[in-house]
């Protein structure tokens, strides 16, 4: 062997937590390799296809050579206008499409880059626990410190913002919220948005609402962070096409809100990416112009699946709350086992895949998350299998 120097992974990668589910994943793949039939309630990735109108819009758009060149850096002007129109129709908030709308390569991309734009090394990002893991990973990668804000079951899985100390709030540059909430299924709450906006003003930080599930709402009305008084001076909201229109593979989303924050994010993005294929942006425009009933029909599919799962588990003696929003059921482990041990037993004994709650943060311990992105008859089958091991 020649005497060569090995490369060294950047130290910042050491800040990322170890992947907890190595064993569980291995067990799942071993069973799949044996041809075992698993009901997968693990991943939140819609099984229903993208609406055909959107697919047709992409087909037409990609045949137009005008879409083949580099996209506009902040997103196609025509899509940004459509986003502003869609947002105003839903929330009554009128946005300047030039300054208050930014097209993203999916919400995850925008959330992943945001800390680099507004969080300095050693300053604090307030991150919900349990929560979508990108918030903390991106904050760590930007060199920031993460302070978990527990979502209190007694408060309907909302954070008690009064419990954040003054010193922590003063050190904070960023607060992440995510309503409707993954993984708990908690709906939006206008009061929480107002409190968060007030706190952000008082301490001079940015408040973000990840609204990826804004349209997956079974009851109650839609609420945006930007409707809260003063929120547009301190807040941005991230929206996705992925869950609403079954477009997880397409990679398109958008951010709306404070122009300065979006400028900072756009400054990062202009150095590392070149926005979304223009043809996909045109398809996104078609998505936003779909009649609301189309998305509503799909919501009925999720509602039936939710009821089949919640009622079925209840009959089996496992009483789990019925979520008002999102396609997740967040269930307390009924046996007192840890969330990983229980998920492992669900896998081995019931052949059902669920996500251990601890993967979403320490406060997720004692829970599992089950996604409704699998056909109703498979959910019936899952309930049957779970019943037998309880
Ligand atoms: C699925 C999901 C996203 C990712 O959305 P993309 O637009 O596909 O990147 C963002 N936030 C939450 C909470 C999610 O569950």
Which sequence spans correspond to the domains of the chain? 17-48+293-389, 52-288
The CATH class, in words, for 17-48+293-389 is: alpha beta
Report pLDDT for 127. Answer: 98
Q: How far is the CA of 140 from the centre of ligand 1 (A)?
A: 19
Ligand 1 pocket, mutate which of 210, 216, 245, 249 (most atoms under 8 A from CB): 210
**Which tens digits make up the pLDDT trace of 96-125?**
999 999 999 999 999 999 999 999 999 999
Please tell me what DSSP assigns to residue 211.
-
Q: How far is the CA of 38 from the centre of ligand 1 (A)?
A: 24
Report pLDDT for 233. Answer: 97
- Determine contact, residues 210/238, Cβ cutoff 8 Å: yes
Q: How far is the CA of 240 from the centre of ligand 1 (A)?
A: 7
Average pLDDT over residues 159-169: 97
Report pLDDT for 106. Answer: 98
**Which tens digits make up the pLDDT trace of 131-150?**
999 999 999 999 999 999 99
Model confidence at 339: pLDDT above 90: yes
- Determine contact, residues 208/198, Cβ cutoff 8 Å: no
d(CA 128, CA 327): 19
d(CA 355, CA 59): 36
Options 3.20.190.10, 3.40.50.720, 3.40.640.10, 3.40.50.300; CATH for 52-288 is 3.40.640.10
Average pLDDT over residues 145-171: 97
Report pLDDT for 336. Answer: 92
Q: Tell me whether residue 9 is exposed, middle or buried, using C-beta atoms within 10 angstroms of its C-beta: 0 to 12, 13 to 18, 19 or more.
A: exposed
Query: Which residue has its alpha carbon closest to ligand 1 atom 2?
Result: 212
Query: Which residue has its alpha carbon closest to ligand 1 atom 11?
Result: 212
Report pLDDT for 197. Answer: 98
Q: Do domains 17-48+293-389 and 52-288 have the same CATH topology?
A: no
Q: How far is the CA of 13 from the centre of ligand 1 (A)?
A: 22
Model confidence at 4: pLDDT above 90: no
Q: How confident is the model at residue 266 (pLDDT cuts 50, 70, 90)?
A: very high
Report pLDDT for 2. Answer: 66
Q: How far is the CA of 108 from the centre of ligand 1 (A)?
A: 6
- Average pLDDT in the chain: 96
Report pLDDT for 1. Answer: 59
Q: How confident is the model at residue 287 (pLDDT cuts 50, 70, 90)?
A: very high
Ligand 1 pocket, mutate which of 107, 135, 180, 185 (most atoms under 8 A from CB): 107
**Which tens digits make up the pLDDT trace of 302-337?**
999 999 999 999 999 999 999 999 999 999 999 999
Beta bridge partners of 152: 158
d(CA 84, CA 95): 6
**Which tens digits make up the pLDDT trace of 43-84?**
999 999 999 999 999 999 999 999 999 999 999 999 999 999
Which residue from 166, 160, 173, 163 is spatially nearest to 126, judged by alpha carbons? 173
Ligand 1 pocket, mutate which of 103, 242, 245 (most atoms under 8 A from CB): 242
Average pLDDT over residues 260-277: 98
Contacting residues for 1 by C-beta, under 8 A, at least 6 apart:
none
Instruction: Report the predicted TM-score, pTM, of the whole model to 2 decimal places.
Output: 0.96
**Which tens digits make up the pLDDT trace of 341-375?**
999 999 999 999 999 999 999 999 999 999 999 99
- Determine contact, residues 364/358, Cβ cutoff 8 Å: yes
Q: Tell me whether residue 182 is exposed, middle or buried, using C-beta atoms within 10 angstroms of its C-beta: 0 to 12, 13 to 18, 19 or more.
A: buried
Report pLDDT for 114. Answer: 98
Ligand 1 neighbours, Cβ below 6 Å, are 44, 106-108, 132, 178, 182, 210, 212, 240, 242-243, 248, 253
Higher pLDDT, 43 or 380: 380
Q: How confident is the model at residue 5 (pLDDT cuts 50, 70, 90)?
A: confident
């Amino acid at each position: 062997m020649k005497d060569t120097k090995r490369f060294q992974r950047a130290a910042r990668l050491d800040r990322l937590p170890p992947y907890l589910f190595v064993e569980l994943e291995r067990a799942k793949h071993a069973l799949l390799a044996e041809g075992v039939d698993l009901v997968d309630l693990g991943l939140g990735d819609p099984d229903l296809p993208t609406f055909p109108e959107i697919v047709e819009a992409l087909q037409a758009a990609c045949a137009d050579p005008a879409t083949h060149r580099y996209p506009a850096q902040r997103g196609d002007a025509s899509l940004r206008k459509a986003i502003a129109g869609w947002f105003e129709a839903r929330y009554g908030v009128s946005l300047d499409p030039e300054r208050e709308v930014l097209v993203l390569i999916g919400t995850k991309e925008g959330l992943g880059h945001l800390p680099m734009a507004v969080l300095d090394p050693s300053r604090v990002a307030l991150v919900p626990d349990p929560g979508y893991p990108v918030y903390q990973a991106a904050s760590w990668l930007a060199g920031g410190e993460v302070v978990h804000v527990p979502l209190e079951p007694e408060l309907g899985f909302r954070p008690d913002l009064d419990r954040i100390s003054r010193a922590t709030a003063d050190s904070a540059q960023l607060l992440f919220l995510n309503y409707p909430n993954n993984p708990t299924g908690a709906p939006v709450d206008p009061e929480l948005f107002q409190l968060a906006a007030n706190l952000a003003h008082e301490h001079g930080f940015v408040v973000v609402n990840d609204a990826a599930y804004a349209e997956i709402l079974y009851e109650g009305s839609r609420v945006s962070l930007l409707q809260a008084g003063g929120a547009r001076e301190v807040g941005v909201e991230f929206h996705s096409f992925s869950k609403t229109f079954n477009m997880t593979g397409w990679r398109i989303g958008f951010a709306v809100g404070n122009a300065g924050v979006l400028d900072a994010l756009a400054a990062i993005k202009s150095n590392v990416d070149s926005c979304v294929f223009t043809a996909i942006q045109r398809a996104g425009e078609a998505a936003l112009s779909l009649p609301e009933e189309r998305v509503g029909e799909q919501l009925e599919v999720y509602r039936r699946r939710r009821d089949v799962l919640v009622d079925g588990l209840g009959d089996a003696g496992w009483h789990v709350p019925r979520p008002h929003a999102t396609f997740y059921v967040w269930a307390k482990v009924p046996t007192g086992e840890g969330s990983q041990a229980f998920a492992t037993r669900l896998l081995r004994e019931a052949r059902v895949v669920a996500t251990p709650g601890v993967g979403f943060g320490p406060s997720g311990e004692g829970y599992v998350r089950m996604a409704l992105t699998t056909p109703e008859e498979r959910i019936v089958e899952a309930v049957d299998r779970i019943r037998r091991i309880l």
